[in-house]
Every structure is written in structure tokens, then in C-alpha cells.
Copies of this chain bind each other. A is one copy, B any other.
Amino acid sequence: MAEPTPQTPPTGLRERKKQRTRDALIRAALELFTERGYEATTIDEIAEAVDVSQRTFFRYFANKQDVVFAVQDMVEARFLQELRARPADEPPLSALRGAVLTAWDDIGDAIASVIPVDLHMRAFRMIESTPALIAAHLRRSTELEEQIAELIARREGLDVDVDPRPRVLVAAFSGVMRVAGKVWGEGHDCSVAGIRELTRSYLDHMGPAIETDWRTGRNH
């Protein structure tokens, strides 16, 4: 009873219809959120735009926030996939860095299959400027962190509950990633290339920021 092709199993009419409803809800929600604001948009308005009942919305998404992060889910899955594909002999931080930068390169196509890329970018900025969504975003990030830490630990043959380094590294890494996203959201460069470049730059600042005395340049 396993699905034949997890990537494209739109077997029946029913499945296709469900997928369409789901995509329509995501699209309508993000469109409304980015236009008039997250708090100012009600579930009723989203449901009405897609012509379904409010109850149906909640059958697709557990809560109002979840619809915002539906696309983000794809992006994260893509990153994890990229990380798993890194060569085993690469040092941990290099693997993380490589996975992020590679993921940014071909994420556009994946997003475009659901919503216009620029809508996703606007949504990203909306998240960073809406307190409730910032909170949700951060919580999701920590859950992702745990998965990443497990992956890193496995690469290095360690146990996350014994050796703190995987979690510590990933926590530091994620913190830097978050700041990059935040700064990008506040800036004027709306391109994918822009956030990719900022990410790279910030990751490269991480080691120096920690190791050295910023004034003398000496380690401490």
C-alpha cells in the first residue's frame, strides 16, 4: 500500500482536488497577509477567497500560522536533503555552509511549483516583521536544529546526548543564519542572490567573531 512515486502521485481526481485546494489556500492566504497584514486578515476572508468553509481551512492547516510556513517546509526539506548529500570527510561547519549555499541555488524552482517566487520573498519579509510569526518561525527553527544536530552527530559518529558539540555548533550556526535572514529582510535587496550572498558573508564572519580579540586580532 506504499505510494508508488512520492514526488508525483496524483492518482485520483480526489487527490488532485485536495492538492489544488491546499495550494489555493496557501496562495490566497499569503496574498492577503502580505497585502493587508497578518493580524488584519481573518481566516474567514481566506476561506471566502478560495470559496471553502472556515472549517475546511482548519482541516488543511492546524492553525492560522501553519499556512504561512507551508512553503518554508519545502525549503527546509531541501536543505536537509542537501546536507545529507555532503561528502562524509567534510568538517561539520563546512558541510552546513555548503548545504545552505547549494540549497539557495536551486530552491527557486521548487517554490515556483506552488506560488510565485516573489510572493514567497514578500512572505519572508512579512514573517520577519510580524511578532507572532517571528516567534513561530524561531520555534520551527529550533525543531529543525535538532534534526540537523542529529545529522551532524551521525556524520561524526557521535551521540548528541553525550557530546555537546553537534548541538552547540548547530545552535551557533542557526543563530548566524537567522541574523542573516533578519538583516536581509530589513534591507532593500529582494533577490535570492542577495540573501545567498549575505548568508555566505555572515558565515565567514563567524569564526573570527568568536576566536579573536577584535582589536588586536589575537586569540584568547
Contact = CB atoms under 8 A, between A and B. Distances in A.
Contacts of A86: none
A134 interface: yes
A117 interface: no
Given A156-B214, A206-B210, A220-B94, A201 B164 contact: yes
Interface residues of A, number: 44
Given A138-B142, A142-B178, A179-B167, A172 B92 contact: no
A144 interface: no
Contact of A136 (B135, B178, B179): B135
Contacts of A164: 179, 183, 201-202, 205, 209
A64 interface: no
A172 B179 CA distance: 10
Contacts of A214: 91-92, 156, 158, 165
A6 interface: no
A220 B134 contact: no
A53 to B, nearest CB: 25
A208 B215 CA distance: 21
Interface in A188-220: 201-202, 205-215, 220
A11 B201 CA distance: 53
B138 A168 contact: no
